[in-house]
Amino acid sequence: MDFELTDEQRALSEAARAYATSLSQQAREIERSNEPPGRDLKLALGAQGFLGVNLAPEYSGLGLGSLEALLILEEFAKIHPAIAFPVFESSVGPVKAIERFGTEALKRRVIPEVCRGEKVIAIAMSEPDAGSALTDLKTRGEIRGDRIILTGGKRWCSGGGRADGYVVYCKLSDAPGAKGIGAVYIDAGVAGLSFGERELLMGWRGIYSADMFFDEVEIPLENLIVPAGGFSKMMEAFDLERCGNATMSLGIAAGAFDEVLAYVQERRAFGKPLIEFQAVQLKIAEMAMRIEAMRLLIHRAARRADTGFPSVADSSIAKCFANEGVREVTGQALQLMGGYGYSKEFQMEQRFRDGWGWGIAGGAIDIQKVNIAASLVGRRFNQRA
């Protein structure tokens, strides 16, 4: 088993680190204003080749693997989630489902624009009564000839109200549960699509979230990604998004670690640097251990998947461990920095707030543990019984 990156992968990671670091001041402004990155940044990310690196070359991607995409994402997540969000959505988000399952016409229309930074595509899954119990969703898509008519609503869509397009999970037949669920793509601005007020969240400043409403939204049949009964296919693609979620946690934790490691070597108490105290040394070691384990679990999931999607077991283990780890690392780092960690003059309190959210988004921590247990015994558990 090889734990080393190739020379090409290291070079890609270093290039991403250098470019992401150059955006630090812009990230601070995003944190202050709560406004998302502008179009210029997304176009620049596309021009630099950081978007859709694991998408096929025939759709303007670089044709690299998911591990390469996650290496890039980690470096941007160290700086700020909003800076990393276009990278996330272009490489491990719903665009991968479009690439794998969508019609050729849809792929050629949407994916090149994503790779160029002209579009960000978000995913719309959850509803007021369908979060962890996703098969309870009520949004419906009725196929009428060569059109699909969408009615219903969505909640907790990261990017909702500001993304350029959406992959929407919906009921496409009257079959019960997962058998009736599929997914479609809709462009922002289509008639009948509207949004509620922007959600005010604890963290994730610069990333919009808003309720979505579909009032007889009409889209062409070529926008069908998977038909009724394709729910399991969409969840296969979502296993890669779980790895992206885990990598966002990893990047935030790694950024926090870099910041606190520098701090404890510079900050003095009782006449000596904080790092000279054994209690501080133990905390630093614990944080480093957690971060290394996060990274190994994420990379294992990506490597095992090769050119496909990770398994639900690998992705759930990586996500669950990283989600818990980032909370622990940022919490300990904030404590070590004391009042400076709690001050908005520094980035640590922001990392703490942002890190907490990833254990809620994309399937809560406890749901991942249910997935892990199910994979161990080889069957799904009926939560309704």
Predicted confidence band of residue 132 (pLDDT cuts 50, 70, 90): confident
Cα angle 200, 359, 206 (rounded to 5 degrees) comes to 35
Burial 334-353 (b: 16+ CB within 10 A, else e): bebbeeebeeeebbbbbbbb
d(CA 176, CA 76): 41
Among candidate residues 209, 227, 230, 111, the one with its CA nearest the CA of residue 155: 209
Backbone angles phi, psi at 151, to 5 degrees: -135, 150
| 100-109, 325-334, 374-383: least confident range | 374-383
Mean model confidence pLDDT for the chain: 95
Instruction: Tell me the domains of the chain and their CATH numbers.
Output: 7-119 (1.10.540.10), 122-228 (2.40.110.10), 232-377 (1.20.140.10)
CA gap 67, 304 in Å, rounded: 10
- The per-residue pLDDT for 380 is 83
Closest CA to 77 of 288, 232, 245: 245
Q: Has residue 374 got a pLDDT over 80?
A: yes
What letter does residue 134 receive in the DSSP assignment?
Answer: G
Scanning the chain, the segments in alpha helix (DSSP H) are 7-21, 24-33, 39-47, 66-79, 81-91, 95-101, 104-115, 231-266, 278-305, 312-342, 348-357, 365-377
pLDDT tops 80 at residue 384: no
* Alpha-helix runs per DSSP H in 151-268: 231-266
Tell me which amino acid residue 171 is. Answer: K
Check if the beta carbon of residue 68 is closer than 8 Å to that of residue 54.
yes
CB 324 within 8 A of CB 92: no
pLDDT for 253 equals 98
Q: Is 7 a residue whose pLDDT tops 80? A: yes
Choose the weakest-confidence range: 192-196, 229-233, 337-341. 229-233
pLDDT of residue 2: 79
Rounded CA separation 385/373 (Å): 17
Greater pLDDT, 251 or 1 = 251
DSSP 230: -
Higher per-residue confidence, 353 vs 234: 353
Strands 147-158 and 193-198, sheet pairing? unpaired
What is the structure's pLDDT at 262? 98
pLDDT of res. 131: 74
In the predicted structure, residue 307 carries a pLDDT above the cut 70 = no
Q: pLDDT band at residue 245, thresholds of 50, 70 and 90?
A: very high
26-75: per-residue pLDDT in tens?
Answer: 999 999 999 999 999 999 999 999 999 999 999 999 999 999 999 999 99
137-189 confidence digits (pLDDT tens): 999 999 999 999 999 999 999 999 999 999 999 999 999 988 999 999 999 99
> What is the DSSP secondary-structure string of 56-112?
-GGGT-----HHHHHHHHHHHHHH-HHHHHHHHHHHTSTHHHHHHHS-HHHHHHHHH
How far from each other are the two terminal CA atoms of the chain, in whole angstroms? 42
Contact criterion met (CB below 8 Å) for 342 and 331: no
CA separation for the pair 63, 307 (Å, rounded): 10
What's the pLDDT score for residue 93?
87
State the burial class of residue 43 (Cβ atoms within 10 Å of its Cβ: 0-12, 13-18, 19+): middle
Read off the tokens for 92. 């491990």
| pLDDT computed for residue 382 by the predictor | 79
